[in-house]
Structure 1
Amino acid sequence: MNSNRFSSPIKHSTRLASKDIKVTDEKKKKALFVLLENFSMVSFTGAVDVLVTSNLITTSPVFDVETASVDGEKVVSDLGIEVAVNQRVDAVNIKDIDILVICGGLRTPLRDSPPIHKLIAKALEEEIWIGSLWNGTYFLAAAGMFDLAECATHPDSRDLIRERYPNTRIGNTSYTIENKSFTCVGPNSAIRVMQDLIEQLFGADMKRGVNGILNVDENRSVNSAFSSGVNYIPKNLEMIIELMENNLEEPLDITDFSDYTSLSRRQIERLFSKYVNTSPSRYYLELRLNKGRQLLRKTDYSISEVAIACGFTTQTHFSHSFKMVFGSSPTQFRQAGRDNS
């Protein structure tokens, strides 16, 4: 089997203390969030949570997060909570920053800020990622960033941006991401745009891994393991997945699923391809390996005992499959968990 052919999100469906995904770009990214007066706390923490969660599912941390304010002092959020920052805006060494995010909020004053304008200008010169939350888009528009590309901003700030910067193209979407810039209108879109940023920087597997952790509170059952945007699955497919989940120690054959659902092998394969973006065998394998990963983290079972509990006849087969999917051997995975505990 070609291990690169499929990309099911099942292997990222559980929060882990140790690291699983190997990233191709080993350079850690530093994100700087500039907090404006009355910034949206929920948008800010949602965006940061996406980046921090990425560090939980990688072989080594891929993001550092820092904060700044215009004067370097604490900033009061829209919730009335004071947040201390790492530095003042004019002290930022932009060459150390990979992602610059301007964080606004509903009551953030939209007025000229020379320190912020200067920082954005430096960021443009360095060609780093530049983004905004809520009406932080105002300051990016002031720099002329959206005379050609579209941006997103909260509806309350649209008229002011259009009046002061008439060349700005404001779209109708809740967020945008293109040409190393991103914008969003509020808390939910802040999370989504940062997830898309993860995909741009580190690939779809990383994004799915983060989604598998952060999206578990959505009102879905088995759907939460599926491709983004899928809100319905056929009853037959749901039945097959339930059979898989209940038979991990003694795996069933696809013919068993056919007998149970009266579907042909080909029909089952088409269902998985359409709704899960992988094959039945790959999906089943990752379910079993995901159980193994949990046992390695939470128990003192030997590797051979874990292998048997996941339906593998030999420890060698289990270890090979585990490394193929997660990028590290069971022994390495368990040791990484101990090192990070």
Structure 2
Amino acid sequence: MLQLTEAGRPQPPALRIGFWLMDTFDLYTLANALEPLRLANQLAGRTVCQWQMLSLDGRQLNASNGIATATARLDLAQPLDVLILCDGDNLHHPDLDRQLRHWAAQPIGLGALGKAGWLLAQIGALNGFRCSLPEPAPSLTFAAFSELTPVAAPFCVDRQRLTCVGPQAVQGLMHELLARTHGRGLILRMEKHAARQARPLLPTQNAPAKLQATLALMNEHLSQTLGIDELAETLGISRRHLERLFKCSLGCSPSRHYLDLRLQRARQLLRAAEQPLPAVARECGFVSLQHFFRCYRQYFGAHPRDHVGAVPIAESQRALMLKAPASSRASPLPH
């Protein structure tokens, strides 16, 4: 059983997700599901989730916009924790119903994106589970699904079933799945990252002179940190004025930005693996090693030692995915 991330407990293993594609699948919906997973790996600095593109035949499939995607055969998939159905226009494969029933009986999470949820409903895989489903197709009679428990929400995770109403709700579904396996701290960091990315770029040369000077001072004093009052006094402005500069230009407080700089520097040093943990903490302005561990874990979702000598995720993710043990048994989604 996958465990929630909690302080003092070992990190849970990577969440293994399979996306079961149908011909002419919606690429926009799939991209909305994959981006949170990619970002989670990037911000965690390690592989917290892995994914596979699967189909019944293992052939190359064309998305609804014509873009081709390679897939592996569903019956030859690497071990999975969650299998998510992404439907298309052609739902008449002769083996589809049997395969759906087979996977619904497995001890793993089974989900569907958008109208694919009705395929699960038709075989009874959603009976007794809360679910989020879009309006049924005209050929379906909602009254025939008397055992469904639909909820008025864009997505729903109920025990081993995951459903959502459409492409805009997929991101929330992925966030909930990640939160249940790796903790909500990771999701908070992902949301903060997205908010920072959505801010317009502030060219340094056009930034207020006082802000530029503050940023330079912070970068020059990562080990011997300066207090916010000391920064303001050095620049000849009030603390309140300095805080307004940061809030308007960077969307955060001076102390928050200063801490971010120190933690990012710490991860660079840890990856270089040239100094022990106490030395890294001192070089990044942390007097207490425990305080460093706590701040680092809150920011990156991992203990500093997890990043010692770590290869950036962009370089290592594919290799790690290929090392998944073929004999390991799939784990059920947590309640």
TM-score (norm 2): 0.63
1:261/1:57 CA distance change after superposition, 3 Å: closer
Task: Give the residue type in structure 1 aligned to 2:58.
Answer: G
CA-to-partner distance for each residue in 1:57-110, whole Å, 9 max, x for gaps? 4464232211221222221111111111011x3x2469x2210100025xx24x
User: In the TM superposition, what whole-angstrom CA distance separates every residue of 1:133-162 from its partner, at most 9, and x where no partner exists?
Assistant: 12111211112233343322344x455444
Shift in CA distance, 122/254, structure 1 to aligned 2, threshold 3 Å: farther
Question: Which of 103, 122, 125 is 1:142 aligned to?
Answer: 122
| Counterpart contact for 1:43–1:187, Cα < 8 Å | yes
Of stretches 297-306 and 198-207 in structure 1, the one that deviates more from structure 2 is 297-306
**Counterpart Cα distance in 2 of 1:25 and 1:243:** 40
Equivalent-residue separation in structure 1 for 2:16 and 2:281 (angstroms)? 39
Counterpart contact for 2:132–2:156, Cα < 8 Å? yes
Q: Is residue 2:50 matched to residue 1:76?
A: no
Note if contact 2:82-2:109 (Cα within 8 Å) is conserved in structure 1.
yes
Which residue of 159, 162, 173 maps to 1:179? 159
2:73 is the counterpart of 1:131 = no
Residues 19-168 of structure 1 aligned to structure 2 (within 5 Å): 24-58=10-44, 60-87=46-73, 89=74, 91-92=75-76, 96-105=79-88, 108-109=89-90, 111=91, 115-155=95-135, 157=136, 159-163=138-142, 165-167=144-146, 168=148
Q: CA deviation at 1:35?
A: 0.4
Q: Which whole-Å CA distance do the structure 2 matches of 1:60 and 1:299 have between them? A: 15
Is 1:335 the counterpart of 2:321 in the alignment? no
Q: State whether structure 2 residue 292 is matched by structure 1 residue 322.
A: yes
Query: What residue number does 2:206 align with?
Result: none
Bigger mean CA deviation after superposition, 297-306 or 30-39:
297-306
**Matched residue type, 2:169:** S
Contact 1:141 1:161 in 2 (8 A): no
Mapped partners of 1:121, 1:215: distance in 2:
41
Which of 179, 183, 187 does residue 199 from structure 1 map onto?
179
Q: Distance in 1 between matches of 2:166 and 2:200?
A: 23
Query: Aligned partners of 2:103, 2:144: CA distance in 1, in Å?
Result: 20
Q: Is the 1:99–1:129 Cα contact (8 Å) retained in structure 2?
A: yes
Kindly, what percent of the aligned residue pairs are identical? 15
CA distance in 1, matches of 2:8, 2:96: 35
SS of the aligned residue for 1:121 comes to helix
> Is residue 251 from structure 1 mapped to residue 226 from structure 2 by the alignment?
yes
Query: How many angstroms apart in 2 are the aligned matches of 1:153 and 1:196?
Result: 17
Root-mean-square deviation over aligned CA pairs: 4.5
How far apart, CA to CA, are the structure 1 residues paired with 2:180 and 2:172?
A: 13
Structure 2 stretches lacking a partner, 5+ long: 1-5, 202-211, 233-237, 242-251, 317-335
Contact 1:292–1:306 (Cα < 8 Å) also in 2: no
* Normalised TM-score (structure 1): 0.62
| 8 Å CA contact 2:121, 2:145 repeated in 1 | no
Which digits, 9 at most, give the CA deviation of each residue in 1:236-272, with x for residues without a partner? xxxxxx9997874343358999x7449xxxxxxxxxx
Equivalent residues, number: 276
Q: Deviations over 1:147-196 (max 9, x none)?
A: 343322344x4554444843234443221122221112233311121011
For the 8 Å contact 2:229–2:239, the answer to whether it is kept is no
SS in 2 for 1:64: strand
